[in-house]
Amino acid sequence: MKLSKNEIADFNKSCNQDYKHENDFLRSKFTKKGIDIDAIIKKVADFQVAIPSWALGAGGTRFGRFSYGGEPATLEQKLNDVGLIHALTKSAGTVSLHIPWDIPEDINAIKEIAANHGIVFDAMNSNTFQDQPNAEETYKYGSLNSTDKRAREYAVEHNKEVIRIGKALGSKSLTVWLADGASFPGQLNFQTALKNTEDSLQQIYAAMPEDWKLFIEYKPYEPNFYSTTIQDWGTSFMLANACGERAYTLVDLGHHLPNTNIEQIVATLMHKGKLGGFHFNDSKYGDDDLTVGSIKPYALFLIFNELVYGMENNPQNPYPAWMIDASHNIKDPLEDLIQSLEAILMAYAKALLVDQKALKTAQLENDVVKCQEILQDAYNTDVRSILKAAREQAGGAVDPLKAYRAFQVRQQLIDERGLEVQATGL
């Protein structure tokens, strides 16, 4: 199914228009501080977040998986689902594929489907954390860090294949996340594992086209529970430096030990020009991959405050690649992704409302109370009217979740695809 512009425009007419008055109020309030609400509406409308192909079906835990029905079984169907989200929100104009789950049979046909939905291909993801059917080498004891040279070569070759597919699709970056590590003390020689990972990443980097970027993702634990070879931002940063200028660190919100100050990591990386990519999700305990903003929205705002500062003040840092890396066990995945996009844009809009001039003055005066007031004045502003105006201007739905339900999207997908299909993915 596809949602047309006219259907969405008609839906918008039926929506409550109060948000326009709310924006008038915000204009009068923030203009006094020199903050331009219309410029913020435009920035919010322009902000695009990649949807990962693996988040479109119901995820699961190791205890079970509960299908949602109408899930996409093929890459074509996954692109159609991203197209639906994009039509409604106008902020999901990119997709991130995972190889080999998403190997395109006909590259041109896939490109055409994406183009019809106004979607481009963001970072490609390689998968060396699972053995595929008929695999010649096993990743049971690691991939890029394996003690077995053939397994390392096999994993490097897989990444080269992902680059080849990505190049044909028009992608410009590769994200490497490794499960490599050890489950028990003594299993790995840490230094050898790190050296092998560095050598392998350098080979992958050398195979990338000159206009590509390499994103190195870190994570402290899971699936290995004693050590992970790329455990933290420092290790990722070091490896990125060892690869070269176009290698960067990728921050995934769920990949930190409890209470880590992620906003400070963001600031440090942007200062050094090395924040390449960002995966959004939320968590209470570990890498929970919950809906963005569902647990710690203030932390998300503080992170966005640093991202906005970095985007405005750090020309040495490239514009980061944004992606939602979430998993949906009991919610309709498309509804969950719409909620995530809303949370991301709210945090972004609030960060754009921070009175940077006043904050700088208060910081110089060491007026700690005022600093907090300035941040919380922005955070406590209801910005939903800004998001509505941004979507309306871009041709999306004023209220995408309401529209999704009004158009009975899930039921139509179930009618088209059936109840039992299962998407490939995490």
Q: Give contact residues for Mn ion (rule: CB under 5 A).
A: 252, 279, 287, 325
Our finding on whether 158 is near ligand PSV (CB under 6 A) is no
The residue (of 135 and 419) whose beta carbon lies closer to ligand PSV is 135
Selection from ligand PSV, Mn ion, none that 78 binds (CB < 5 to 8 A by kind) is none
- Separation in Å, CA 342 to CA 263, 336, 391: 20, 10, 11
Out of 122, 137, 252, 342, name the contact with ligand PSV by CB under 6 A.
252
Selection from ligand PSV, Mn ion, none that 299 binds (CB < 5 to 8 A by kind) is none
The residue (of 256 and 274) whose beta carbon lies closer to Mn ion is 256
Out of 180, 282, 325, 399, name the contact with ligand PSV by CB under 6 A.
325
Q: At residue 279, what are phi and psi to the nearest 5 degrees?
A: -110, 125
Q: Report d(CA 403, CA 224) in Å as an integer.
A: 42
Q: Report d(CA 298, CA 380) in Å as an integer.
A: 10
Selection from Mn ion, ligand PSV, none that 242 binds (CB < 5 to 8 A by kind) is none
The residue (of 87 and 176) whose beta carbon lies closer to ligand PSV is 176
The residue (of 255 and 391) whose beta carbon lies closer to ligand PSV is 255
The nearest distance, CB 60 to ligand PSV, in angstroms, is 13
The residue (of 172 and 350) whose beta carbon lies closer to ligand PSV is 172
User: What is the size of the binding site for ligand PSV (CB under 6 A)?
Assistant: 9
Our finding on whether 125 is near ligand PSV (CB under 6 A) is yes
Out of 263, 282, 287, 336, name the contact with ligand PSV by CB under 6 A.
287
Selection from Mn ion, ligand PSV, none that 385 binds (CB < 5 to 8 A by kind) is none
Which residues, 177 to 206, sit near ligand PSV by CB under 6 A?
177
The nearest distance, CB 287 to Mn ion, in angstroms, is 4
**Binding mask of the shown chain, residues 216 to 245, with x at each position contacting ligand PSV by CB under 6 A:** -x-x--------------------------
The nearest distance, CB 14 to ligand PSV, in angstroms, is 38
Our finding on whether 279 is near ligand PSV (CB under 6 A) is yes
Q: How many residues does the chain have?
A: 426
The nearest distance, CB 27 to ligand PSV, in angstroms, is 39
The residue (of 129 and 358) whose beta carbon lies closer to ligand PSV is 129
Which residues, 49 to 108, sit near ligand PSV by CB under 6 A?
none
Nearest to 171 by CA among 215, 213, 203: 213
Q: Report d(CA 286, CA 257) in Å as an integer.
A: 7
Residues that bind ligand PSV (CB under 6 A): 125, 177, 217, 219, 252, 279, 287, 325, 426
